């Protein structure tokens, strides 16, 4: 519970002493650390065995079914780019999410990190997610890597996106590209 109280030294001590990484109602230390931007605690939780893609399954009674949320979603919601980058380096999966465009009252309903980052105008986080996805896709298709991208300049979001996308678009094998999602 030290994680939920944002007490980093206490949380690290408890984790290192073997305290349970799982809390009531399906909560776990990694999701809590991601939500509260506690990168050190997230690192400790992963080092003690919590899987980076382990869902936080909220099951507080009287809810009949669980609502799954992943650590990467909480890190994006927290707005902490360092925690997002750390989870991505640890293998956070960005391919499990669905977007439901609008709810009954016109609100955007989604559980994907991209939409949250864009909605919150966290373009730095959006670009981290984009780069991780493009890297994953290029590895999956066995494309030649285009190398590390240079640091971004302070420009408009659209220009920054174009700057990040251009190297990846250059290395795509467009002849074998299937827009329907097949490889």
Helix axes 157-171, 123-140, angle to 10 degrees: 10
Distance CA 29, CA 45 (A): 6
User: What confidence category does residue 154 fall into, taking pLDDT thresholds of 50, 70 and 90?
Assistant: low
In a domain, 150, yes or no: no
Digit-coded pLDDT (tens) for 77-106: 999 999 999 999 999 988 766 555 555 555
Domain count, the chain: 1
In a domain, 171, yes or no: no
Distance CA 11, CA 8 (A): 5
Note if the pTM is more than 0.75: no
In a domain, 66, yes or no: yes
For residue 71, give the CATH number of its domain: 1.25.40.20
In a domain, 80, yes or no: yes
Answer yes or no: is pLDDT of 148 > 50.
no
In a domain, 70, yes or no: yes
In a domain, 165, yes or no: no
In a domain, 1, yes or no: yes
Digit-coded pLDDT (tens) for 11-46: 888 888 888 888 876 678 898 899 899 999 999 999
Task: Enter the tokens of residue 65.
Answer: 């079914």
* Among 112, 111, 124, 120, CA closest to 83: 124
Distance CA 100, CA 110 (A): 5
In a domain, 75, yes or no: yes
Question: For the chain, what is the total number of helices (H) and then of strands (E)?
Answer: 8, 4
Answer yes or no: is pLDDT of 159 > 60.
yes
Residue span of the structural domain in which 42 resides: 1-93
Point out the least confidently predicted range of 19-28, 83-92, 143-152, 166-175. 143-152
Distance CA 160, CA 162 (A): 5
């Amino acid at each position: 519970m030290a994680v939920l109280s944002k007490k980093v030294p206490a949380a690290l001590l408890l984790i290192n002493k073997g305290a349970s990484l799982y809390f009531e109602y399906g909560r776990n230390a990694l999701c809590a650390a991601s939500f509260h931007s506690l990168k050190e605690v997230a690192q400790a939780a992963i080092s003690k065995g919590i899987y980076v893609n382990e869902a936080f399954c909220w099951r507080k009674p009287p809810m009949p079914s669980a609502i799954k949320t992943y650590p990467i979603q909480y890190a994006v919601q927290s707005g902490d780019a360092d925690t997002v980058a750390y989870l991505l380096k640890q293998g956070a999966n960005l391919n499990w999410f669905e977007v439901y465009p609008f709810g009954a009252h016109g609100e955007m309903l989604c559980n994907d990190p991209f939409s949250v980052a864009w909605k919150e105008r966290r373009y730095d986080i959006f670009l981290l997610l984009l780069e991780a996805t493009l890297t994953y896709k290029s590895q999956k298709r066995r494309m030649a890597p285009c190398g590390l991208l240079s640091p971004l300049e302070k420009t408009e979001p659209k220009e920054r996106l174009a700057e990040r996308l251009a190297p990846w678009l250059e290395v795509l094998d467009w002849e074998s590209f299937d827009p329907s999602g097949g490889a």
